[in-house]
Amino acid sequence: MHILEGYGLTESSAGTTVNPGEDYRVGTVGTPLPGSEVRIAEDGEILLRGPGVMRGYHNQPERTAEVLESDGWFHTGDIGEIDKDGFVRITDRKKDMFKTSGGKYVAPSEVEGRFKAVCPFVSNILVIGASRNFCTALITLDEPAIMQWASSHGLGGRSYAEVCASEQVDKLIDGFVRELNTGLQRWQTIKKFTVLPRDLDIEHGELTPSLKVKRPVVEREHSAAIEKMYAGTVEA
């Protein structure tokens, strides 16, 4: 299916970049529309400028000053990069980025997206590592996929939670984590992971109605599993 991704915000009157019909790049949101400018700030944040960018939030001068510079550059709150041909790639939300105890910044969504690309059994993954000396991950598995796998690997008849806690599944997911790590910088790599006994859901407040992960809620709900992965390590 030929899908052309674009990018923009309400504050930029929607579209700011879009992939051309023919010379497109999969995984990017295309190049700036005529009259629009895009640049990357020192911290990796995407900045926009052009006729579509708002003049400010209505009757909210302080909030406007937080995101809009005097020369018209708008701070999107998104982290990304621009390749040599001008194609923009979105890698994370600025508020989701964290810094390890070693001072390295990690964009968790980028790592999580890569894992979903290599592991056919994953449902959700949350990368942890703020002020820690290495990254870990909480992983949940797609129930139909992993149960079908389980039935042909000696785990037939077991419950979903039992399958997720099994040594066979731990070894299976470990293989995908190792594959993921081969394409990451050293400070981004996942040193330990935990497969949770249930998927994230709206009922526990872990997902929004549009199924976006609420990171603070998940970290709080599964704090014991996180602390276990960091047992014996020193935090910043």
Output the pLDDT for position 14.
84
Domains (ranges, CATH) in the chain?
Answer: 6-92 (2.30.38.10), 97-229 (3.30.300.30)
Better pLDDT: 182 or 22:
182
Could you give the residue ranges of the DSSP H alpha helices within the chain? 61-67, 108-118, 143-151, 160-164, 167-181, 215-221, 223-229
Q: pLDDT tens digit string along 224-236? A: 999 999 998 755 4
Q: Do residues 48 and 31 touch, judged by C-beta distance below 8 A?
A: no
Give strand pairing partners of 46: 40
pLDDT digits (tens, 9 = 90+) for 104-147: 989 898 899 999 999 999 999 999 999 999 999 999 999 999 99
Structural tokens at position 168: 């066979």
